[in-house]
Structure 1
Amino acid sequence: MLGKINVHKITLIALAIVINIVGSYIALVLHLPIYLDSMGTIMTAILLGPFYGLFPGVLSALVTGMTSDIYALYYMPVGIVLGIVTGLIFQRRNISNKLFIKAFCISIPASLISACITANVFGGITSSGSTMLVQLLAKTPLGLTLSCLIVQFFTDYFDRLLSLWLVFSVIKKLPDSLTNKLKN
């Protein structure tokens, strides 16, 4: 449900964009095998639903792509799908149940899209720290596309699991007065 747009929702989306950008920058600079670029998207999708959940992914990909990591632009569809799927899975805001299963469910569609982009657009070589794993597996009988899918799924799963855990930790600390303002 969309609800009425208000200053609290706009502020949350802006904060989510900053969280995504800072997370992606940390992962890029440290060459981590996870991405850290979806915490804000996940938080927005859980608190505001699937429609609003797609905005942080799109806008942070635009900003990151134009400032520090051009690859982010190509992965914008992943942020869109992640925001929508996360918003749909957490529509009832039941954030405490089945964290591992929910991380798995939101990782599958994003991993499929990411793997296709990585294999077909970039030949398996991106700015991510997981690129080395893809290149190693690509030399096996698995081939490039399957190697991208395997590495992408595992890195996405652990990235989403960490993101969900951090987001849930934050959401549980939010005052009811704020979450009620976000619902309206």
Structure 2
Amino acid sequence: MLGKISVHKITLIALAIVINIVGSYIALVLHLPIYLDSMGTIMTAILLGPFYGLFPGVLSALITGMTSDIYALYYMPVGIVLGIVTGLVFRRRNISNKLFIKAFCISIPASLISACITANLFGGITSSGSTMLVQLLAKTPLGLTLSCLIVQFFTDYFDRLLSLWLVFSVIKKLPDSLTNKLKN
């Protein structure tokens, strides 16, 4: 697979990393309850498949973790799983009316992993704007872990839905000549 990597693929992965970093920085600075850190990963996974889809998640987590948000390093497995699962769900680049269902499918594995990381490593407190929601729910009979899972799933779902909508809006505008070069 790596023997056939083209300049177009490398450029797309680099662009995806920048999109992830800028999105995560916006969410961090504005304390948004969504993350905006996976649009590049999703775009790469849809256009290039699951193998290439994991690279933007890993590399953007490394860069973000070393520059602006240390928590990003701990959530690197989420980016890996998201890239692989998204690449598998969209392996035929099927842009359909089932966006809500597909967002649900790619959110479940990532939410499980991120909820476990949030609850077990950080006690429900991270740099995300959703931390306030977790802390409120944790005081109910749900407890910390279930609160993290619930909040994580809903924030992940809306984050992935928004990301998919934006990515598909961009992909639809790409010229066929470019998407054909990315297929090879």
TM-score, normalised to structure 1's length?
0.98
Shift of 1:4: 2.1
Q: Residue by residue, what CA displacement relative to the aligned partner does 1:109-148 show, whole Å, maximum 9, x if unpaired?
A: 0000000000000000000000000000000000000000
Counterpart secondary structure, 1:108 = helix
Q: Which stretch shifts more, 2-11 or 111-120?
A: 2-11
Q: Which consecutive unaligned segments of at least 5 residues does structure 2 have?
A: none
Shift of 1:27: 0.1
Shift of 1:95: 1.5
Shift of 1:164: 0.0
Q: Provide the C-alpha distance between the structure 2 equivalents of 1:5 and 1:17, rounded to a whole number of angstroms.
A: 17
Q: Provide the C-alpha distance between the structure 2 equivalents of 1:46 and 1:2, rounded to a whole number of angstroms.
A: 18
Q: Provide the C-alpha distance between the structure 2 equivalents of 1:67 and 1:167, rounded to a whole number of angstroms.
A: 25
Aligned residue-pair number: 184
Shift of 1:163: 0.0
Query: Aligned residues: percent identity?
Result: 97
CA RMSD in angstroms, aligned pairs only: 1.0
Contact kept, 8 Å, 1:47 with 1:182, in 2: the verdict is yes
Shift of 1:40: 0.0
What does 1:171-182 correspond to in 2, within 5 Å?
Answer: 171-182=171-182
Counterpart secondary structure, 1:160 = helix
Counterpart secondary structure, 2:73 = helix
Taking a change above 3 Å as real, the CA distance of residues 3 and 50 of structure 1, as seen in their structure-2 partners, is farther
Q: Provide the C-alpha distance between the structure 2 equivalents of 1:148 and 1:59, rounded to a whole number of angstroms.
A: 25
What does 1:29-68 correspond to in 2, within 5 Å?
Answer: 29-68=29-68
Shift of 1:96: 2.1
Taking a change above 3 Å as real, the CA distance of residues 39 and 75 of structure 1, as seen in their structure-2 partners, is same
Q: Provide the C-alpha distance between the structure 2 equivalents of 1:117 and 1:3, rounded to a whole number of angstroms.
A: 35
Q: Provide the C-alpha distance between the structure 2 equivalents of 1:25 and 1:11, rounded to a whole number of angstroms.
A: 21
Q: Provide the C-alpha distance between the structure 1 equivalents of 2:2 and 2:65, rounded to a whole number of angstroms.
A: 28
Q: Provide the C-alpha distance between the structure 2 equivalents of 1:159 and 1:84, rounded to a whole number of angstroms.
A: 17
Query: 4+ residue runs of structure 1 moved beyond 4 angstroms?
Result: none
Q: Provide the C-alpha distance between the structure 2 equivalents of 1:13 and 1:66, rounded to a whole number of angstroms.
A: 19
Shift of 1:155: 0.1
Q: Which consecutive unaligned segments of at least 5 residues does structure 1 have?
A: none
Shift of 1:3: 8.2
TM-score, normalised to structure 2's length?
0.98
Contact kept, 8 Å, 1:133 with 1:151, in 2: the verdict is yes
Q: Residue by residue, what CA displacement relative to the aligned partner does 1:39-96 show, whole Å, maximum 9, x if unpaired?
A: 0000000000000000000000000000000000000000000000000000011012
Taking a change above 3 Å as real, the CA distance of residues 46 and 2 of structure 1, as seen in their structure-2 partners, is farther
Q: Residue by residue, what CA displacement relative to the aligned partner does 1:15-52 show, whole Å, maximum 9, x if unpaired?
A: 00000000000000000000000000000000000000
Shift of 1:97: 3.2
